[in-house]
Structure 1
Amino acid sequence: MSVLSNIPYDIVIFALLTLVLVWRLRAVLGRRVDVEGQNLGPVPVAVRQAKPEPAQPVAEEPSAKFDIPQPATRVGQVLAEIANAQPGFKPDIFLQNAQKAFREVVTAFAMGDRAKLRTYLTPGAFAGFDAAITEREAAQQQQRTEIVGLNTLAIIDAFFTRFEGHEKARIDVQIVSRQISILNDQGGQPLVGTESVTEFSDLWQFESEAAQGQAPSSWHLAAARAA
């Protein structure tokens, strides 16, 4: 009997198959370790980037609604007379300026800013505002006013006169606003007003004057009262 006839060929074949499978498995596992380990080499790896947070929309206050009388109405005709006397006058531009003046005057009055009030008020109106501020200061009271928004500005009346070369124009504007307005005593306790947003309706009267041969003065607040 030869030596070859004693070799268990089935065991040898099984052993060879096992070696081939181990070699293949090692090759696959080796590649997997390279991807998941630190030595990445040229293997591309998808990097997950954090998505930027979307910008939060800025809450914008709705613009105030302007109410301007039609040209065929009496007030509309007076506005046309003012426009003839004051080149460049336009009711919508006037209301834009009135809106700015309202914010500035209300804030300046609450802060007791007399210098700013002088720029927007006629001398007579300033005297009334100044007296109210002086009375508040004497009582050591503090006014806190926050304009949350303006709803409407409506021209409800207008006058224009011309006498001996002197021209005077007046426009009445009803202003509806939302405010937080509180008057506190010297101890910080509220006397008048509330922390809640309250709707206010005011009637503001603006005036401008001009003498013969002179350009009309800018518009100033002549009077203000609750409407």
Structure 2
Amino acid sequence: MEFFDFGTIFFLIAAVVIFFQLRNVLGRRTGNERPPFDPYTAGRNGSRKEQGANGENVVSLPRRKGAAEPDQIYADIDKVAKPGTELNKGMRAIRDADPSFAPKSFVDGAKMAYEMIVMAFADGDRRTLKNLLSREVYEGFVSAIDEREKRKEKIESSFVGIDDMTIIAAEMKGSEAHVTLRIVSELISATRDSAGEVIDGDPETVAEVKDVWTFARDTRSRDPNWKLVATEAED
């Protein structure tokens, strides 16, 4: 008969103790065990619902394909105006009312409108002005043209270009979106009297002109065009 040395006996006793401890911990049922994994059941139920933190069923809705992240919706506006400023808030409000509104596209369109309005006023082109101006502004422009024609004065004007056009204010007034621009342009302009004498301006000098114009559009209207609703010269 072989005898075990002390070390062998010690390890045998330790193994038996560990076995019973594991059995006591792992072998008991508490009633909270999860059922065995069933790939078919998981495929049917897991695709529709997930368990929330409190055991409640949470329906996972798929993200709409092509939907922009919240931070991306106003990304182009945030590049133009610092988030949190009144200007940024105003443009965001316009975007909410009119998803097609984009600062860069708006400024590009305003540049074309500015040149058309300036030249139409110089030429006395009432038809073009009527399409681009609000009723109040149109009446003011036409009144000035009428007075000029009564005095038999003529404006000779040449549009050189726009040095800068910046959005300085934006807001919603009811359903109307209002955007104000600071404009710095270059223009050659001279007014001649009935005798052909220059009474204002210089036909050979490029002058810098600074204006503050406000355009508006009813966001409920199907008409996508903006109209000039206010003008003032910047000193």
- The unaligned stretches of length 5 or more in structure 2 are 1-78
Residue aligned with 2:82, SS: coil
Aligned position for 1:113: 125
Residue aligned with 1:181, SS: strand
Residue aligned with 2:163, SS: strand
- The TM-score, its normalising length taken from structure 2, stands at 0.63
Residue aligned with 2:96, SS: helix
Encode CA deviations 1:158-202: one digit per residue, 9 max, x unaligned.
Answer: 12133xxxx111111011001111111111111111121011100
Of 179, 188, 193, the match for 1:185: 193
Encode CA deviations 1:64-99: one digit per residue, 9 max, x unaligned.
Answer: xxx932333210111011011012110110000100
Aligned position for 1:122: 134
- The answer to whether the Cα contact below 8 Å between 1:68 and 1:154 also exists between their aligned partners in 2 is no
Aligned position for 2:231: 224
- The answer to whether the Cα contact below 8 Å between 2:97 and 2:219 also exists between their aligned partners in 1 is no
Residue aligned with 1:176, SS: strand
Give, as a single letter, the amino acid of the residue that structure 2 aligns with 1:183. Answer: T
Residue aligned with 2:152, SS: coil
Distance 1:69 1:187 in 2: 50
Give, as a single letter, the amino acid of the residue that structure 2 aligns with 1:177. Answer: S
- The answer to whether the Cα contact below 8 Å between 2:171 and 2:177 also exists between their aligned partners in 1 is yes
Distance 1:121 1:158 in 2: 18
Give, as a single letter, the amino acid of the residue that structure 1 aligns with 2:165. Answer: L
Cα offset for 1:217?
5.1
Cα offset for 1:139?
0.3
Distance 1:169 1:100 in 2: 19
Could you tell me the percent identity over the aligned residues? 32
Of 209, 217, 223, the match for 1:208: 217
Encode CA deviations 1:191-220: one digit per residue, 9 max, x unaligned.
Answer: 111121011100111111245xx5465210
Give, as a single letter, the amino acid of the residue that structure 2 aligns with 1:116. Answer: T
Distance 1:144 1:104 in 2: 15
Aligned position for 1:196: 205
Distance 2:188 2:219 in 1: 38
Larger RCO (alpha carbons 8 Å, 6+ apart): 1
Q: Cα RMSD over matched residues?
A: 1.6
Encode CA deviations 1:99-124: one digit per residue, 9 max, x unaligned.
Answer: 00000000101000000001100111
Of 173, 179, 188, the match for 2:181: 173
- The TM-score, its normalising length taken from structure 1, stands at 0.65
Distance 2:222 2:81 in 1: 25
Provide runs of 4+ in structure 1 moved above 6 Å. none
Number of paired residues? 155
Distance 1:157 1:198 in 2: 26
Distance 1:73 1:215 in 2: 30
Give, as a single letter, the amino acid of the residue that structure 1 aligns with 2:214. Answer: Q
Give, as a single letter, the amino acid of the residue that structure 1 aligns with 2:107. Answer: L
